[in-house]
Structure 1
Amino acid sequence: MDIVALKLTIIKKYVITFFKWVMVAGITGLIGGLVGSAFHISVEYATNLRMKNDWIIFILPLGGIAIIYLYKLFKLGNNMGTNLVIDSIRTDGKVPFVMSPLIFISTVITHLFGGSAGREGAALQLGGSIGSQVGKVLRLDEKDMHLITLCGMSGVFSALFGTPLTATFFSMEVISVGIIYYSSFIPCIVSSIVAYEVSLFFGLEPVRFNINIIPSFSIENMIRVAALGALCALVSILFCETLHKTNKLLIKLIKNNYIRIFCGGLAIVAFTFLVGCRDYNGAGMDIITNAMNGHAKPEAFILKIIFTVITISVGYKGGEIVPTFFIGATFGCVVGNLIGLDPGFGAAIGVVALFCGVVNTLITSVILSIELFGSGAVILFAIACGVSYMLSGYYSLYSSQKIVYSKLKAEFINRSAM
């Protein structure tokens, strides 16, 4: 009888925990979906306004000063961002509430005036802050605070990109490379799905691309895809190293945050007129789409790296993932064509392989390929991601990311990303 009672107690515990997280994650996803949708609409409005008014880029340096002032006003360090959210998962799970409005407004300013940045950095910071605040209101304990922060990250990421499964696994996988927190799967996927449905309710289109030509599954194509994956690993190292070293160098050379971001804004304006087009301002989703259709300039990927590195290093806000898509798509389009792949398919491989290299999330990257491009060539995408993951070393866009297990053998190393 005691054994039966014990089993019933255990079953009751599992059931209660399950329904608790469905409810809590549902609430988090609802809030994340609303905030994420509002953020998506705001960024799109800012982008359209910029594209209709070329002169607005001249205000970028002043927009940078406004960003620094806002962060100083609310006593939040300008360098606090996605790394803070990642660190919070390993500590107390608490993310400052003020981070949400600051990253929301600052990212819109960056996109409005032509900085080269994405949206996912804001998504992770918005989501982490939302999750943390929900956890505080519900008085969750420290371990549950970790899960609710992941829920928030998944929800806003899903609302912005329309990729609920990718959002789920990204939050689970990005914190510690080599470990996936399976206990967070139900909370994260519930939050992702709810947020995704909210974004659809507001008429937001999920990010999707069509591949015109899917190559056959052959030894030759596997070798070509593996080669492109290896080259994307090298580009990922270049991007991460350039970003981190430029940031450290500029902080050392120009200690005043206001002067640094103002000079960075002037540099973006100057480079924009030097290249003679606006392709490298903002996120550049139209350029990504062109690459998927087989059209990309050979120099586009390196110019996007330059624009993004300057923008992020001097203190403008946004994220590096959409620029990564841009870099990967344009690089893959050009190089894929050179090695015998259809350029549009090469662009698709470049997107997921470079994403995998800069964030070290192998499973997420394979799932991303399915949600963005369909499952028709998933094995080829998986090969490219696997090669990029292994050869990209321990470099990462997020210095707070932990490499728990080696990429080369079953060895516990627990080191910080480079």
Structure 2
Amino acid sequence: MSGLLSALFLWSLDRVTALRFTHPELVFFLPAAGIFMVWVYRRWGADSERGNAMILERIRQHKGRVPARMAVLIFGSSILSHLVGASTGREGAAVQIGGGLAAFLLKLGNLNARYGRPMLVAGAAAGFSSIFGTPLAGALFAIEAPAPKQPLLHLLPLALVASFAGDTACRASGATHALYHVQTPLWSSLIAPKTLAALLLASLLFGWAGHLFIRMHLGVRFLYAKLSGPWWWPPALGGILLIAASHSPLLTDYLGLGTWSPNAGAVTIASAFSPGGASDLSWIAKLSLTALSLGSGFKGGEVTPLFFAGATLGNTFATHLNLAPDLFAALGFVAVFTGAAHTPLAGAVLAAELFGFGLIPLFLPVCWLAHLTCGKIGLYPGHPLGHSAPTAKNNPQK
């Protein structure tokens, strides 16, 4: 069921993105859409506003359930966010849809609470795998993200079954996923001193970029909290700033999901795999607008924007050093996310599924170094390596 819902979500996301490009005036509804979403979560969201962080916390602590309405709330709010052009992702919606579906089935079957953890792991694995078309990475993400230091290996068989089932159902429904071509390098060229030094430097840079994004996101929320305004102030101000960004030729490419664009010469994830497919500031522009969007209350997720930022950063890095832009775009694609989420195993396998298993000996150390470079700060609040979740007093959306 999670795979079928992911297919519907991907179809809806594609339709509203196309509608936004056809009707660019939709960005003027950003403040109203943001205010509406925050109001809905205040009225019916309960703990659902915490999103993926709550699901991973419930898995880690082996107690409690997530609200079943989480699936409906994140589906609708993510589609609305992309319709008006907020810079958010899609994996947050997929994982939360899977978690909400698991909660619904637990309640429907009147199952004992001890089934909560495996059901949430299955839902998260199916959601992640079906949204990206990566069943192995989906299973690893579901057991690694809740507890990076001690992955829940005993739940791996369940996660694999759910992940492959979700991906199969999604593909059977007609959903397609983006394909990226990376030319496999000669391994002899990778052991050249210049290339080894570049790989090391790039790994550190990708981990630092993940750390920077988390700091930026926290900074936006901190600034809103310091303003001490009414609850609708963050989405209203954030929406106005995003409207301003949409009218800047330097920033308009970095609104929305960023996976494709009808505009010739636009910077997208796909363009980052080609020479000259990104500018020097593409990555920081995407990080900034995503931190602003999420910090202001818009919904969707962080992973796809981190893919975008990592791929464009890798492209820029390779261009300046006269290296292969497709290879370093692929490295950045997964390593910035891996560093922020502290999921090096899932990140390396994700790269293998997307770019080829022959490159996994290269991706694994890069992802691991990015994870170490990011430090103890993490993408998900309440995470063992993550930042503390904002309290209700300081949360600008409460």
TM-score, normalised on structure 2? 0.90
Q: CA shift at 1:377, angstroms?
A: 2.1
The superposition leaves residues 30-54 of structure 1 with CA deviations (integer Å, 9 ceiling, x where unpaired) of x111111111111111111101111
Percent sequence identity is: 28
Unaligned runs of 5+ in 2: 261-267, 390-398
Q: Which residue of 2 aligns with 1:327?
A: 309
Q: CA shift at 1:213, angstroms?
A: 5.3
Q: 1:75, 1:203 → 2: CA distance?
A: 31
Comparing 353-362 with 370-379, greater Cα deviation is found at 370-379
3-state SS of the aligned residue for 1:176? coil
Aligned runs of 1:1-400 on 2, under 5 Å? 31-76=1-46, 79-89=49-59, 90-212=61-183, 214-216=185-187, 217-220=190-193, 221-276=195-250, 278-286=252-260, 287-294=268-275, 295-400=277-382
The superposition leaves residues 202-235 of structure 1 with CA deviations (integer Å, 9 ceiling, x where unpaired) of 2111343111352534243333212101111111
Unaligned runs of 5+ in 1: 1-30, 404-414
3-state SS of the aligned residue for 1:376? helix
- AA partner of residue 269 (structure 2): I
RMSD: 1.8
Q: 1:275, 1:302 → 2: CA distance?
A: 15
Q: 2:21, 2:238 → 1: CA distance?
A: 21
3-state SS of the aligned residue for 2:269? helix
Check 1:282–1:226 CA distance in 2 against 1; reply closer, same or farther (3 A cut).
same
TM-score, normalised on structure 1? 0.86
Q: 1:77, 1:153 → 2: CA distance?
A: 17
Check 1:224–1:215 CA distance in 2 against 1; reply closer, same or farther (3 A cut).
farther
Check 1:391–1:277 CA distance in 2 against 1; reply closer, same or farther (3 A cut).
closer
Check 1:75–1:301 CA distance in 2 against 1; reply closer, same or farther (3 A cut).
closer
Q: 1:131, 1:359 → 2: CA distance?
A: 23
Comparing 276-285 with 324-333, greater Cα deviation is found at 276-285
- AA partner of residue 119 (structure 2): I
Q: 1:118, 1:211 → 2: CA distance?
A: 23
Check 1:332–1:400 CA distance in 2 against 1; reply closer, same or farther (3 A cut).
same
**1:100–1:125: 8 Å Cα contact kept in structure 2?**
yes
- AA partner of residue 307 (structure 2): F
Check 1:276–1:354 CA distance in 2 against 1; reply closer, same or farther (3 A cut).
closer
Comparing 303-312 with 336-345, greater Cα deviation is found at 336-345
Q: CA shift at 1:248, angstroms?
A: 2.2
Check 1:248–1:328 CA distance in 2 against 1; reply closer, same or farther (3 A cut).
same
- AA partner of residue 273 (structure 1): H
